[in-house]
């Protein structure tokens, strides 16, 4: 005779509270089943608790299975630097298989290798006779590793020439292989450059004439000083301290020092209104929406190169969004939360503080992309509060996203999503590492040589101090951003929905001022230029010298600055980017002057007395002095 316990049907089992397969704050789905322990070695005990498996075969819910994949990716990321091994493997396999099946390409590579070897030895023989023999190859524009005159003497000249020829040959190896997908080709070429740069003679103290000369001058003390520099940097990095010299750029004193008040605060932003610097101001205020990937004071650096201070001194009432630095508790913030809390509520506050006036909205980088979405949604709803829209190095079409696309494909995005799912956010250090790899010669190797081999500290400037003050990005928002904008390009395709309706850029009727930068590795100017193809309004486009940050921070008076500018009206013929570059007016100096004139021309002619920050009588008192509290969060 059977007991009740013996005859009862085994219960459907669910994940118990002791299982930590899900990040803190995320409960296990009810449909999942309890599972049994993996070997202890499968998961580090300080991160993953052991599982328990009943002796009965059970069915695991879909979310539970997905959790295993995410856990595995999160653990792998600790050893791969956040790069997806699968993405790199697929790219390598695609390139290797097609190269193996391309005898013509391999024959071409053998021919080029022979030619380059011949050129190198001919140069070496000629330079032995005539020291003024011109080099057989020159470095690419922007590559300053061999620019010092000491590299012209033998044997250093031979080593540098051999390296550059070898680098050029590997470019041939990794490019134009028949059948390889363009993305995989770019990934393999990028990896090859990174590996080659490690072996550059400029990075070796025994083959770098600058380092050797410095060692002879100091009796080797430069290596002792360099080692001390390395130790100090390593300790600062391990303890999450800012770099040496950052103490000279205190937020609120040396940078972000334009006088103002925080006049509105919610869970995501502080809205800063700046005090007037003129007796009269333009009636229509300016709202600045910076990217949440950076602290807002990129636009309010030292007084001499602060764009916000410049606008205030030109008679504008300026408001600026300061984003809170998210943490694991903000894992479920969405892209629409950023639009709603960051832009919609900021506009409502400005409307209350400065009633009955339209607003000149300005967005930088990701802030510009979000502003485009918000402006399109407002236009779709018949909301005409925007007097103009200015986009600074901001993309609206992501079909050609530039070098950042190296880190963005379906495999890599899934890998990043797993990392963020575990932590609740994308760590700022991981973002910084990705940007450093894109410019490894300038941001990694040149610093290694100068600070650690030559033994001299690279002076820190305000822009570098700001760059080290990076932020995190919430899991859900960043996953949406990468998938919906980068991978699926929903905004340009007209499929990006806000409140269930498409946010179509074609609905924007406010005039636009759009700035691209010549050497932008984050938002290439040809990609930024595509705003011409997506809107039906007047677009004034500027192409300025410099990169993603230095091109925007381009204060009047800085030497060697130039830009091109042209207006495309709604009924004008749309030119290609190359045609536009040939036809646009060329000017010397800062584009800030042209933008200030453009804002004045698109503002109401009437002036009003300078406005003090806040409007307590309308429910928006001045809370605290600028720069507020959110910008100080680490």
CA angle 468, 472, 476 (to 5 degrees): 160
Q: Are 479 and 417 spatial neighbours (Cβ–Cβ below 8 Å)?
A: yes
**Rounded CA gap, 293 and 472, in Å?**
7
Quote the CA–CA distance of 163 and 139 in Å, as a whole number: 10
Task: Give whole-number Cα distances, 155 to 152, 399, 608, in Å.
Answer: 9, 46, 70
φ/ψ of residue 578, rounded to 5: -65, -40
Residue 441 Cα distances to 61, 449, 450, 523, angstroms: 48, 10, 12, 20
Nearest in space to 591 (alpha carbons), one of 531, 532, 543, 547: 543
588 has which bridge partners? 562
Give residues with Cβ within 8 angstroms of 256, minimum separation 6.
295, 296, 297, 300, 301, 626, 627, 631
**24 vs 41, 187, 423, 472, 634, CA distance in Å?**
22, 34, 8, 17, 20
Lookup: tokens for 454: 């030559």
C-alpha dist (Å) from residue 394 to 309, 333, 521, 611, 631: 22, 22, 12, 30, 22
Q: For residues 510 and 388, is the Cβ–Cβ distance under 8 A?
A: yes
Alpha carbon distance 512, 524 (integer Å): 18
Instruction: Provide φ and ψ at 527, rounded to 5°.
Output: -75, -45
Phi, psi of 300 (to 5 degrees): -145, 60
Nearest C-alpha neighbor of 166 from the set 202, 120, 131, 122: 120
- Which residue, 32, 36, 37, is CA-closest to 13? 32
Q: Mark 304-336 as b/e (b = at least 16 C-beta within 10 Å).
A: ebbbbbbbbebbbbbbbbbbbbbebebbebebb
Cα end-to-end distance, the chain, whole Å? 67
Q: Phi and psi (nearest 5°) for 387?
A: -75, -35
Cα–Cα distance, 509 to 388 (Å, whole number): 9
Q: How far is CA 34 from CA 29, 45, 378, in A?
A: 11, 19, 48
Per-residue b/e over 21-37, b at no fewer than 16 CB within 10 Å? Answer: bbbeeeebeeebbbbee
The C-alpha atoms of residue 419 and residue 417 are separated, in whole angstroms, by 5
Residue 583 DSSP SS3: helix
- Residue 365 is among the residues annotated as catalytic for this protein: yes
* Three-state helix/strand/coil letters over 294-321: CCHHHHCCCHHHCHHHHHHHCCCCEEEE
The residue with tokens 């085994």 is 10
Catalytic site residues?
A: 365
């Amino acid at each position: 005779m059977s007991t009740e316990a013996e005859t009862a049907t085994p219960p459907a089992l669910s994940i118990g509270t002791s299982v930590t397969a899900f990040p803190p704050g995320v409960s296990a789905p009810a449909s999942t089943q309890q599972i049994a322990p993996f070997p202890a070695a499968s998961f580090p005990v300080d991160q993953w608790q052991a599982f328990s498996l009943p002796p009965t075969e059970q069915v695991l819910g879909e979310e539970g299975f997905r959790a295993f994949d995410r856990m595995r990716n999160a653990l792998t990321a600790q050893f791969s630097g956040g790069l997806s091994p699968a993405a790199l493997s697929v790219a390598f396999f695609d390139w290797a298989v097609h190269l193996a099946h391309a005898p013509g390409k391999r024959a071409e590579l053998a021919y080029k290798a022979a030619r380059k070897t011949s050129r190198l030895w001919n140069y070496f023989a000629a330079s032995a006779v005539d020291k003024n023999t011109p080099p057989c190859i020159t470095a690419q524009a922007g590559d300053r590793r061999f620019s010092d005159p000491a590299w012209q003497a033998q044997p250093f000249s031979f080593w540098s020439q051999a390296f550059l020829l070898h680098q050029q040959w590997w470019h041939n190896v990794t490019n134009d292989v028949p059948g390889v997908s363009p993305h995989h080709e770019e990934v393999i070429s990028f990896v090859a450059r990174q590996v080659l740069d490690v072996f550059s003679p400029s990075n070796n103290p025994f083959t770098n004439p600058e380092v050797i000369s410095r060692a002879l001058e100091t009796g080797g003390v430069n290596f002792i000083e360099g080692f001390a520099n390395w130790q100090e940097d390593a300790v600062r990095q391990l303890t999450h301290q800012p770099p040496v010299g950052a103490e000279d750029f205190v937020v609120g004193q040396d940078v972000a020092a334009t006088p103002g008040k925080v006049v509105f605060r919610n869970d995501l932003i502080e809205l800063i209104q700046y005090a007037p610097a003129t007796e009269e101001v333009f009636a229509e205020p300016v709202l600045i929406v910076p990217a949440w990937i950076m602290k807002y004071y990129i636009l309010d650096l030292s007084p001499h190169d602060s764009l916000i201070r410049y606008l205030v001194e030109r008679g504008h009432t300026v408001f600026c969004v300061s984003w809170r630095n998210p943490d694991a508790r903000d894992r479920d913030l969405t892209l629409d939360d950023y639009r709603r809390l960051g832009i919609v509520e900021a506009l409502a506050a400005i409307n209350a503080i400065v009633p009955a006036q339209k607003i000149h909205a300005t967005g930088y980088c990701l802030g510009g992309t979000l502003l485009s979405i918000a402006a399109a949604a407002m236009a779709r709803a018949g909301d005409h509060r925007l007097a103009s829209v200015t986009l600074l190095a901001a993309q609206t079409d992501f079909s050609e996203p530039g070098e950042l696309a190296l880190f963005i494909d379906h495999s890599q995005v899934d890998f990043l999503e797993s990392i963020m799912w575990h932590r609740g956010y994308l760590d700022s250090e991981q973002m910084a590492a990705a940007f450093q790899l894109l410019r490894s010669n300038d941001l990694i190797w040149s610093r290694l040589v100068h600070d650690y081999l030559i033994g001299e500290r690279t002076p820190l400037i305000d822009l570098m101090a700001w760059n080290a003050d990076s932020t995190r990005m919430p899991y859900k928002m960043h996953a949406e951003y990468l998938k919906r904008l980068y991978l699926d390009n929903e905004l340009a395709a007209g499929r990006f929905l806000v409140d269930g309706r498409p946010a179509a850029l074609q609905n924007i009727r406010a005039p636009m001022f759009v700035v691209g930068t010549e050497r932008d590795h984050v938002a290439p100017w040809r990609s930024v230029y595509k705003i011409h193809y997506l809107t039906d309004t007047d677009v004034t486009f500027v192409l300025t010298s410099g990169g993603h940050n230095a091109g925007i921070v381009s204060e009047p008076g800085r030497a060697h600055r130039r830009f091109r500018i042209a207006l495309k009206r709604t009924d004008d013929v749309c030119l290609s980017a190359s045609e536009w570059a040939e036809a646009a007016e060329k000017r010397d100096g800062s584009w800030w002057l042209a933008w200030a004139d453009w804002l004045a021309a698109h503002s109401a002619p009437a002036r009003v007395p300078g406005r003090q920050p806040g409007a307590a009588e309308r429910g928006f008192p001045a809370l605290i002095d600028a720069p507020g509290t959110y910008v100080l969060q680490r």
